[in-house]
Structure 1
Amino acid sequence: MKTVLITGCSSGYGLETARHFLAQGWNVVATMRTPQADALPASERLRILVLDVTRPESIKHALVQAGPIDVLVNNAGIGLFGSFEATPMATVREVFETNTFGTMALCQAIIPHFRERGAGSIVNVTSSATLAPFPLVAAYTASKTAVEGFTASLAHELKAFGVRVKLVEPGYGPSTQFTTNGQQRMQGLIPPPYEAFAHSVFAGFADLAAVTQASDVAEAIWLAANDRSERLHYAAGADAVALSLRRGVA
């Protein structure tokens, strides 16, 4: 029976991915900054652990508690929507600490264990913002694009050791808490000169015919985790799939 460790399981994609792997009979280590015992159905194959990906000691402690794992899913992330002009660099750094450096830190911590075993999979979750430019998410897109380049290089680096590295690129998911979780962070990021433009962008999102559901992402992560081929990109959601086909990375 295989074991997966998933970060960012308190809601959205991480929560649904944990449910999906449990349904497939896997052992699941669901990690969260603030554990919620009732977030997932009770199971002898489930453990919920505290993990803050921005803190090295938290990473070390969580991996010791988790024990041997077969798949690492780097899903934890924070959102940011607003004009780059109005975004403090401290906020940009906060986004990178979780989305980029947190992902890198988890990878660096687990790689020795996978390398020594000659097996293991790392699945890094980014965004369809890396597949096509979107306005008012410049800093967020930069944090996810950095992960794309990092992952592509790491896949080559670890191939010789039998370790697979994958990218899952979710589309626009209105059912997630992307905006809700980042409201405080986003205060003041749409100054008056940008208000009309921002309203037009919001209206465009509201009119989208195809969006991404959490189940789409969970299924893509499941596929990536079990795919032994050299495929790197896995678009998740109808909108992301359309963008990836347009870009030729599906």
Structure 2
Amino acid sequence: MNTVLITGCSSGFGLDTARYFLDRGWKVIATMRSPRSDLLPASDRLTLLPLDVTSDESVRNAVEAAGPIDVLVNNAGIGWLNALEGTPIDVTRSVFETNTLGTMRMIDAVLPQFRERKAGLIINVTSSVTMKPLPLLSVYTASKAAVNAFTESLALELAPLGIAVKIVLPGAAPDTSFGSTALSRLEETGGFPAPYAAFADGVIAAMRTPEAPKTLSSDVAEAIWYAANEASAPMRIPAGADAIALAQ
């Protein structure tokens, strides 16, 4: 039985991916900052673990508790929406600490067991905005683009060790709490700077256009499943109608 460890399973992509793998017979290590047993169906193949990807100790403890795994899915991330001038430097640090360094921290923790077995797969979830940048997402895009570049280089150094690395690039997903959380954080830090306010209103209105193709959480779960189970899958896998359209 294959085992997958997924970060950020409290909602959205991570939660749906955990359900998807459980439904298909995998052993799932679902991690989140504060584990909730009510989010996933009871199963002897499910283990819930606390994990904060910004903490060395938390990552180390979770990986030790998880035991041997076959696939690591780095899904945990935070969103941020604002102009650079409206982004406090501590917010920039927190975005990179979770989205970029958190991914690196998790990979570093699982590599010893992968190297020992000369096998293992790492799937990093980034974003379609790295294919076509959008305004007001410069800091967030930079944190995810860094993961893309890191992954492509990492794949070359791990291939001789029998370890594979993939990237899943989701599009915009209105059925998750990701966007609403970003907007809440925006309000907490004072909103858009005045010179960008009118422009920002137009950008947000365009993002909410109902006719625009969007990504469902299930699209991302399916893409991650494909990456985990299809040896011939490409390194970069777009997830969702809008992401697929951008990749063509």
- Normalising by the residue count of structure 1, what TM-score does the alignment of the two structures yield? 0.95
Cα deviations by residue, 1:92-141 (Å, 9 ceiling, x for unpaired): 00000000000000011111110110111000000001010100000000
Counterpart position of 2:208:
206
Matched residue, 1:109:
109
How many pairs were matched up?
A: 245
1:164-243 pair list within 5 angstroms:
164-187=164-187, 188-207=190-209, 208-229=211-232, 231-243=234-246
Comparing 145-154 with 206-215, greater Cα deviation is found at: 206-215
The CA deviation at 1:145 is 0.2
SS at match of 1:124: strand
The whole-number CA distance in structure 1 between the counterparts of 2:238 and 2:35 is 29
Structure 2 gap segments, 5+ residues each = none
Structure-2 residue corresponding to 1:153: 153
- Which residues of structure 1 form unaligned runs of 5+? 246-250
Alignment of 1:40-79 (within 5 A): 40-79=40-79
SS of the residue 2:161 aligns to: coil
For 2:2 and 2:222, how far apart are their aligned partners in 1?
17
- For the 8 Å contact 2:123–2:167, the answer to whether it is kept is yes
> Which segment is superposed worse, 7-16 or 227-236?
227-236
- Partners of 1:159 and 1:151 lie apart in 2 by 12
Counterpart CA distance in 2 for 1:39 and 1:227 is: 28
- CA separation in 2, counterparts of 1:60 and 1:193? 44
**Which amino acid in the other structure matches residue 39 of structure 1?**
L
Cα-Cα RMSD: 1.1
Q: Which residue number in structure 1 is paired with residue 133 of structure 2?
A: 133
SS of the equivalent of 1:160 reads: helix
Structure 1 CA distance for aligned equivalents of residues 137 and 191 of structure 2: 11
Question: What is the distance in 1 between the residues matched to 2:113 and 2:224?
Answer: 21
Please list the CA deviations of residues 194-227 of structure 1 after superposition, one character each: whole Å capped at 9, or x if unmatched: 1111111111112242100000000000011122
CA distance in 2, matches of 1:186, 1:49: 30
What amino acid does structure 2 have at the position aligned with 1:217? V
The answer to whether residue 12 in structure 2 is matched with residue 12 in structure 1 is: yes
Is residue 164–residue 228 contact of structure 1 (8 Å, CA) maintained in 2?
Answer: no
Higher mean displacement: 59-68 or 203-212: 203-212
* Identical residues among aligned pairs (%): 57
How far, CA to CA, are the matches of 1:202 and 1:28 in structure 2? 36
How many angstroms apart in 2 are the aligned matches of 1:51 and 1:101? 14
Q: Aligned with 2:68: secondary structure? A: coil
Which residue does 1:248 correspond to in 2? none
